[in-house]
Every structure is written in structure tokens, then in C-alpha cells.
Chain A
Amino acid sequence: GENVEQHPSTLSVQEGDSAVIKCTYSDSASNYFPWYKQELGKRPQLIIDIRSNVGEKKDQRIAVTLNKTAKHFSLHITETQPEDSAVYFCAADLKTSYDKVIFGPGTSLSVIP
């Protein structure tokens, strides 16, 4: 069935270091992969996304890569800052009749000053 796995579940980095979160998906029909950031007690917010016809996308300190053959995609945050601390969710949009989005279980990122 449809599934998105995400690793690691928790990640702690020193300020200024890089953080990498990896996800895999099961349904080869998926063609859109958004990433959400959820700060404590707040709603998830879309931070970056990638479509299946693109291998990499970058927006300032964050970048996403996609390997459609292997069904892997990753989030890279460089020069991490304390405000990057949050839970990050990867997701895969199955593009069914109602735009079903399957979320990974989340990664809790802590950036230590």
C-alpha cells in the first residue's frame, strides 16, 4: 500500500552544521513531494517541494533531491540556525482524484547554539 518512510526520527546538530533528512516512498505513481516544517504548537507549513521531473531544487539554505528510480528524496539544510529547530515532515502526493498526500512520520530537528 501507500507508505512514506522517514529517517532519522530525531536529529541533533550544532549550529552552522548541515542536516539531512531522508525519505522513501512506495507508490511509483507519486509525482510531487512537498516538505513541511512544524514548529511546536503550530501548523505545518510548506517550506519546499519538488516534482518528479526534477532531480534537485534549492531555496537559499534548503535543498531537496529526488531519485525517482530508487524512490528516495531528501531534505538538506545547510548552515543550520536555532530557528531551524522543528519537526519536519516529508510527503508524497499520489495525485489521485482528490490529491491524496501521504506524510512521513516526521523528524524532530534540534539545532544546538
Chain B
Amino acid sequence: SQTIHQWPATLVQPVGSPLSLECTVEGTSNPNLYWYRQAAGRGLQLLFYSVGIGQISSEVPQNLSASRPQDRQFILSSKKLLLSDSGFYLCAWIHRGRIPYGYTFGSGTRLTVV
């Protein structure tokens, strides 16, 4: 069966420090992968999506970046964190052709920038 792993679960980082969040998917190949951010008490904001290795598209300009070095690995990074980067970061995947087409989300990373 397909599973999605995301880590770390929680993270407290000082302003100006770097960030690396990792997401991996098991049990499938060639998934579409997504990074979402959810501010406290707010909705889901799409940050990046990837349809294949090395293919990254950004939805919102910001100081974050994403990379997909392997088919089932998706990484969210920042060189220098801002206070506004705090939030709940969710990785999600979808397998094109799978019915239904709903996302499966990872367990999330709660990031607090102090």
C-alpha cells in the first residue's frame, strides 16, 4: 500500500536559520507531489508542486524553495527563515490515474520561527 512520510513532526528555528523538510512516498511511482502551508487557524496554501524529478513549480513567491532529487522524495528548503514562515507544512501526493483523485497528506511539520 502507498504511504507518505514527512519529518520532522515539530521544529523550532530562530529567524535567519536554514530549513530543510523532507517528504517521501512509498508504494507508488511517478506521483505528483505538493507542499502546502497552513497558518494557525487558516486554510491551505499551495506552495510548490512537482510532476517529476527535477520539475518544480512555485505557486507563491517567497523565500522558500523546493527540490525533487528522486521520484518519491520532495524537499522544502529555506536559506534564511522569517517569522512569517511559521506554520503547519503539509506534503501531499496524488497518483494520476488513481480513482478518486484526492490528495493524501503527510502527517505535517509544525514549524515555529522564533
Interface residues of A (CB under 8 A from B): 32, 34, 36, 41-46, 49, 51, 89, 93, 95, 97-101, 103-106
Q: Are A106 and B43 within 8 A (Cβ)?
A: yes
Q: Are A99 and B105 within 8 A (Cβ)?
A: no
Q: Are A103 and B43 within 8 A (Cβ)?
A: yes
Query: How far apart are the CA atoms of A103 and B90 in the complex, in Å?
Result: 14
Query: How far apart are the CA atoms of A52 and B49 in the complex, in Å?
Result: 24
Instruction: Find B102's partner among A41, A43, A46 (CB 8 Å cutoff).
Output: A46
Q: Are A98 and B49 within 8 A (Cβ)?
A: yes
Q: Are B102 and A100 within 8 A (Cβ)?
A: no
A sample of 25 inter-chain contacts (CB < 8 A) reads A32-B100, A41-B110, A43-B90, A43-B105, A43-B108, A44-B44, A45-B105, A46-B104, A49-B100, A51-B100, A89-B43, A95-B101, A97-B51, A98-B49, A98-B51, A99-B32, A99-B96, A99-B101, A100-B49, A101-B46, A101-B103, A103-B44, A105-B42, A105-B43, A106-B42
- Which 7 A-B pairs have CB atoms at the shortest separation, nearest pair first? A46-B102, A43-B105, A34-B102, A105-B43, A103-B44, A49-B100, A98-B51
Instruction: Find A43's partner among B42, B49, B106 (CB 8 Å cutoff).
Output: B106
Query: How far apart are the CA atoms of A106 and B107 in the complex, in Å?
Result: 19
Query: How far apart are the CA atoms of A97 and B104 in the complex, in Å?
Result: 18
Given contacts A43-B108, A89-B44, contact A32 B101 (CB under 8 A): yes
Query: How far apart are the CA atoms of A103 and B110 in the complex, in Å?
Result: 20
Shortest beta-carbon distance from B73 to chain A in Å: 17
B47 sits at the interface (CB 8 A) = no
Contacts of B49 in A (CB 8 A): 98, 100
